[in-house]
Structure 1
Amino acid sequence: MSFCEVMSWTMIFLSLVVALVGLVGNGTVLWFLGFQMRRNAFSVYILNLAGADFLFICLQIGYCFHIILDIDSIPTEIYMFYHVVLNLPYFCGLSILSAISIERCLSVMWPIWYHCQRPRHTSAVICSLLWVLSLVWSLLEGKECGFLYYTSGLSWCKTFDLITTAWLIVLLVVLLGSSLALVITIFWGLHKIPVTRLYVAIVFTVLVFLLFGLPYGIYWFLLVWIEKFHYVSPCNMYLVTVFLSCVNSSANPIIYFLVGSIRHHRFQCKTLKLFLQRAMQDTPEEEECGEMGSSGRSREIKP
């Protein structure tokens, strides 16, 4: 067995293990935020981001099992449709992450406007629009590029690829720009702004995407613009990007629970909800500790 084959199988099994862990983690986040917790503006975004990651991981698990079991009976049309559906959660997840970063930046730079003028259901409306836009665009690109069914003319395929690439670049620039503006405002702004758990969770989520989620989009960008890149790339770089994307989608729940568990020494199953709830709170550490202390004193005074 050659080195490339060993590397490919290693990436497949590692992707499967990481994806299964991520499936449980994102499923837990979906359960708590969807049915067990009261949602706020940012938890709605986190809920939809977890949904996009959950769908992305499910598709990657199916892809890994398809390779491991060596299933050749699947029609080509279904296999191509898989790639179309796979673009949906990836684009939607990146769009939601950019929306989170922008809204967090607005809440820090213009807090009075954000808390007083912001429409109540903005998060839900934006997430719905992003899901619909990602779905429609994935289907249109799949239709024009022959992924859904064979078409004789693919004249619009390159145009759709160009627009898709531009979309990814714009989202990436927005994500980096808003994150940088947020960091500058917090640490070098005129007014001292406390760093909250929510801010830490968002920053780490963005960093994880840049390190592990972005290579998947870059790989497809190279496939579009560099002729025969798939054949000259060392070994099977696509499987490497699959593994990295699985790490990205699986890491977000771990980030939330770790950020929520700061200064909390008990790691029990029943505290997972508390960890997630604390990670979604946009309150300074001092206020949070003060509230916990006052609640504890009230329980001691109560007969």
Structure 2
Amino acid sequence: MDPTEPREHTGPRGDLQEDEAFSLVVLSLTEALGLAGLLGNGALLWLLGSTVYRNPCAIYLLDTACADLIFLGCHMVAIVPDLLPGQSGIPGFVQASLAALRFFCYLVRLALLAAVSAEQCAAALPGARCPCRRPRHLATALCALSWALCLLLHLLLSGACSQPFGAPGRAPCRAAWLAAAALVAALSAAVCVASLLLLLRAERGPQRAPPGAFPRLVLLSALLFLFGDLPFGIYWLARSLRWRAPRRFHALSLLAAGLDRAAKPVVCFCLGRARGRGLRQPLALVLRRALGEDAEPGAGSETPRRGLVEETA
């Protein structure tokens, strides 16, 4: 090798430049995914809000889309200072407020996913033969309870980590974030266990009948959570508790959270799309299929509406 040939930057400064370039690319992709997620979840909200659905699945989907829409709006603005360091001009209190609201929506979405996964799992048990016997307003009550409990935790975090308690190193703030970490761990375990039982029930049932569109949506949502939302939750809790995280994990966790929420509407519409009919299908009809309402317009006979879980036996 020629000694006069310039060497590559392998020192700390070269690593810093590589990290900055990596973060710039990943955060730019995150902004693009956030815009796509805003459009997709906005379409879901518009379709669900313009039509009154009696199916309880629509209530979960409506609340989830609302939480995702608020999350993505905060997410896209909150990462601007990381994307343009020193040039964003966003005040510090605005950044803190957006970060707190984003984590609140994260908790709400996780609680909703845990609730619907547990309900699907309970309805798929061998003894649950009639999903229509479920309480009429159970979905509405669970969604309202999820929002209320997450709001309570959000107020607890805001109160414990503000003046006069101060920084996250203080005891009240640290205890509040440890409680949030315990809640995230419990809800994540509930999602994983309920989805695994639902999958085993579908695969090892008496007739091994494939699950309906909405149970498949729940299973895919749990899978997206494991690879998308869970890394973001781990990063945010580690950041709040002042724990060390691997290098580049910050940007990757932000990208994973945006990817999860951008993929959810796409998965929903793909599950409701009828085979062999291409893409030229009414979105409202596609959404009805995804919610388990399989009746086709103009069909000679009515297809009975199904409950939360289609019978596997």
Fold in common (TM above 0.5):
yes
Query: Per-residue deviation at 1:132?
Result: 1.7
Q: Give the equivalent residue in structure 1 for 2:45.
A: 30
Q: CA deviation at 1:195?
A: 1.8
Q: Which range is displaced more, 17-26 or 158-167?
A: 158-167
Equivalence for 1:285? none
Q: Identity across aligned pairs (percent)?
A: 25
Alpha-carbon distance between aligned partners in 1 of 2:285 and 2:298, rounded to the nearest angstrom: 18
Instruction: Please give the per-residue CA displacement for 1:35-87, whole angstroms capped at 9, x wherever unaligned.
Output: 22524111110110111111110001112344445456433233222221111
The letter of the residue matching 1:19 is G
Amino acid at match of 2:61: I
CA contact (8 A) 2:117 2:218 kept: yes
Instruction: Check conservation: 1:219, 1:241, Cα contact below 8 A.
Output: yes
* CA distance in 1 between partners of 2:24 and 2:251 (Å): 9
Q: Return closer, same or farther for 1:130/1:71 CA change in 2, 3 Å cut-off.
A: farther
Residue number in structure 2 paired with 1:119: 135
CA offset digits 1:11-43 (Å, max 9, x no partner): 121011000000000000011112225241111
Q: Secondary structure at the match of 2:299?
A: helix
Cα distance between partner residues in 2 of 1:128 and 1:234:
38
Q: Cα RMSD (Å) of the superposition?
A: 2.5
**Residues 65-214 of structure 1 aligned to structure 2 (within 5 Å):** 65-68=80-83, 70-71=86-87, 73-109=89-125, 110-112=127-129, 114-116=131-133, 118-146=134-162, 149=163, 151-152=165-166, 154-190=170-206, 192-214=208-230
* Residue of structure 2 equivalent to 1:240: 252
Q: Which has the higher helix share?
A: 1
Aligned residue number for residue 215 of structure 1: 231
The alignment of Structure 1 onto Structure 2 pairs a total of residues equal to 283
CA contact (8 A) 1:186 1:193 kept: yes
1:40 is aligned to 55
| C-alpha distance in structure 2 between counterparts of 1:209 and 1:108, whole Å | 21
TM-score (norm: length of structure 1) = 0.84
Q: How far, CA to CA, are the matches of 1:192 and 1:5 in structure 2? A: 50
Contact 2:68 2:261 in 1 (8 A): yes
Partner residue of 1:301?
none
CA distance in 2, matches of 1:165, 1:151: 19
Native 8 Å contact 2:33 2:258 kept in 1? yes
What amino acid maps onto 1:55 in structure 2?
A: I
User: What does 1:261-276 correspond to in 2, within 5 Å?
Assistant: 261-268=273-280, 271-276=282-287
Larger mean CA deviation between 149-158 and 11-20 belongs to 149-158
1:51 maps to amino acid: C
> Structure 1 residues 58, 72: closer, same or farther in 2, change over 3 A?
closer
In structure 1, the gaps of 5 or more residues are 283-287, 299-303
DSSP 3-state at the match of 1:2 = helix
